[in-house]
Amino acid sequence: MMFGHNEKNVGIVTYGAYIPRFRIIPEEIARVWGEDGQAMKSGLMIFSKSVPYPDEDVITISVEASRNALARSKIDPEDIGAVYVGSESHPYAVKPSGTIVAEAIGTSHFITVADYEFACKAGTAAVQTSMGLVSSGMVKYALAVGADTSQGAPGDALEYSASAGGAAFIIGREKVIATINRTFSFTSDTPDFWRREGQAYPSHGGRFTGEPAYFRHVATCAKELMKIQGTKPSDYDFAVFHQPNGKFPTRVAQQLGFEKKQYETGLTTPYIGNTYSASMMIGLSAILDVAKPGQKILGVAFGSGAGSDGFDITVTDEMANYNRAAAPTVKWFVERSELLDYGRYAKFKGKIVMKE
């Protein structure tokens, strides 16, 4: 039960996000596959999803998000001692995304780097590892990135939600804009969603992804975290949960006792789709874009397979001195959009077999 206790004032020193500008809407996907677009839209509560350009992948998205984080702070990249990139769509099976990200943001070579994978919560696992390294004094700053260019098989329900985006948090102990009071995790062996080695598209257990997977893990993690912290939903100004679609986080928020005004700020999936490892982290970034000193945030990520990472966060007075305007907000990324038809979407996503 002591896991995740933070007595060293570790927290988020700076953050940045990145979302590609292209979008496709459920009606267009449904038109091609003979489905009811309106039903998919209202069933999933997804109005559009982001699509990466052919020259964007997890590495480019991670670099952009990390550079946005650095732009907002005065951190010398050479003070970063660890870089972790969480994703389930790393461009290489063998060769770390993190080495390229580290080099592209100008860290020194005397750092530790690793790529993480835990379905949609690989980014928050990176945040937890970063907290440990920082609080133990092993590193001054650690960069934790969650990014994905997720895959959904053509015609599958996932194709309506699987999107692209990333968020980067630099964890440290000095000039912290948001203290992570405690992190807490709930994990079990639950086969709700998976992708076998070499397979292009993931598989899922349909409705099994709901109650035994998403809802059990997110709700248990949130409840236990609040129990340990001695808090209740009304103590938080904002709440953000993993967002595989718009419906699940809305329902779990309501089940836990949160009101719309608490969870709507971080609910970005209806407009950009499920950015997988970045999903909760982009939602948290959207909250940090507007949060004021003293406000409290509850964030709970979920990764299939399955587990949830929860975070009890308090925005500090340092936020008043922080240069949020030095990088684009999540709202800016959400609003800059260009719609694609299914043909261009299929081309951008590499779904068309080309001649070598």
Partner 1 sequence: MSNPRYWRENPSRYNLIGRRCENCKGVFFPPREICPKCRRKSLGKMKAYKLTGKGKVYSFTIVHDPMPDFTLMKPYIMAMIEMEEGVRLTGQIVDCEAEKISIGMDVESTFRKLGQEGGSGIIRYGYKFRPV
Q: How do strand 164-172 and strand 178-190 relate by DSSP bridges? A: unpaired
Question: CA quadruple 147, 251, 4, 294: dihedral positive or negative?
Answer: positive
Site string for partner 1, 58-87 (x = CB under 8 A): -xx--xx--x--------------------
Q: Which of 131, 132, 138 is nearest to 171 (CA)?
A: 131
Nearer to partner 1, 21 or 247 (CB): 21
Q: Establish whether 5 is a catalytic residue.
A: no
Could you tell me the maximum CA-CA distance found in the chain, to the nearest angstrom? 60
Residues 181-200 that bind partner 1 (CB under 8 A): none
Q: Residues 24, 46, 100, 222: which binds partner 1 (CB under 8 A)?
A: 100
Sheet with 49-51, strands from edge to edge, namely: 49-51, 22-24, 338-339
CB of 132 to partner 1, least distance (A): 29
Q: Which of 90, 204, 217, 242 is catalytic?
A: 242
CB of 348 to partner 1, least distance (A): 7
Nearer to partner 1, 21 or 223 (CB): 21
Q: Residues 31, 260, 292, 347: which binds partner 1 (CB under 8 A)?
A: 347
d(CA 315, CA 284): 12
Cα angle vertex 296, ends 290, 299, to 5°?
A: 85
Q: Which of 120, 159, 204, 221 is catalytic?
A: 120
Q: Residues 47, 79, 104, 233: which binds partner 1 (CB under 8 A)?
A: 104
Q: Residues 31, 38, 106, 264: which binds partner 1 (CB under 8 A)?
A: 106
By CB under 8 A, is residue 251 in contact with partner 1? Answer: no
Task: Compute how many other C-beta atoms are within 10 angstroms of the C-beta atom of residue 196.
Answer: 7
d(CA 139, CA 153): 41
Task: Compute how many other C-beta atoms are within 10 angstroms of the C-beta atom of residue 136.
Answer: 10
Q: Establish whether 221 is a catalytic residue.
A: no
Q: Establish whether 242 is a catalytic residue.
A: yes
By CB under 8 A, is residue 54 in contact with partner 1? Answer: yes
By CB under 8 A, is residue 348 in contact with partner 1? Answer: yes
Q: How do strand 22-24 and strand 338-339 relate by DSSP bridges? A: parallel
CB of 24 to partner 1, least distance (A): 16
Angstrom distances, CA of residue 130 to CA of 170, 183, 320: 8, 12, 24
**Residue 143 DSSP SS3:** strand
Q: Which of 301, 349, 22, 314 is nearest to 154 (CA)?
A: 349
d(CA 190, CA 196): 15
Q: Kindly indicate which of the ranges 50-58, 113-121, 134-142, 306-314 contains the residues binding partner 1, using the contact rule CB under 8 A.
A: 50-58
By CB under 8 A, is residue 148 in contact with partner 1? Answer: no
Please tell me the count of residues contacting partner 1 according to CB under 8 A. 22
By CB under 8 A, is residue 55 in contact with partner 1? Answer: yes
Q: Kindly indicate which of the ranges 25-33, 51-59, 166-174, 259-267 contains the residues binding partner 1, using the contact rule CB under 8 A.
A: 51-59
Active-site residue set: 88, 120, 242
- Residues of the shown chain interacting with partner 1 in the complex, contacts defined by CB under 8 A: 21, 53-57, 59-60, 63-64, 67, 91-92, 100, 103-104, 106, 347-348, 350, 354, 356
